[in-house]
Amino acid sequence: MDAQSLGGLTSAVAPIVMVSAGGLLFNGVQAKNLHPSDRIRSLAAEYRHPETTPERRVMGTAQLGLFDRRIRLSQWALELPYMAILCFVAGSLLMASSLWVGPSALPAVIAGIFVLGVVLLFVALVLEFVEMWVGLKTVEMEVGETLASR
């Protein structure tokens, strides 16, 4: 294999590292996504319980809204790494195909696809940050209620 082909093949494999990064991000978000859904079920059951006080129902309703927002943010953060992985794999395939097709406008397209994948991962990280921030609001509500009842 000549040096140019070897360099092209090596470049085509490089985005696969980003596929791993996207997969790791997805796994982390997916594992964390289970907690809000369990908490929604728990709050809904508490809300329906006949001994739940009206004040607690108001607090539970406010928290349910926050947990609903968290689930939606997490869902978006779960979808974006998949799209990023698709970009990285497509870019890698285009890079590999450029070995046989020859130089053309492909480098600009490949770079654009790669940048799009990186942006998607970045947005997923930002969504996760926002989701954690919303999660802290529910903790503050619980702590505030607990301390107020002392």
pLDDT category, 96, cuts 50, 70, 90? confident
Cα–Cα dist 48/45, whole Å: 5
Phi/psi at 50 (nearest 5 deg)? Answer: -65, -25
Q: Note every long-range contact of 140-145, with CB atoms under 8 Å and residues 24 or more positions apart, other chains counting.
A: 141/59, 141/62, 141/63, 142/63, 145/56, 145/59
pTM for this predicted structure: 0.76
pLDDT at residue 92 in the model: 81
pLDDT(4) > 70: no
pLDDT at residue 133 in the model: 92
pLDDT at residue 119 in the model: 95
125: number of Cβ within 10 Å: 15
60-73 in b/e form (b: 16+ CB < 10 A) is beebbebbebbeeb
Give pLDDT tens digits for 14-69.
677 777 778 877 787 777 777 888 888 888 898 899 998 888 888 889 999 999 99
Domain-wise residue ranges, the chain: 3-144
Chain mean pLDDT for the chain: 83
pLDDT(98) > 80: no
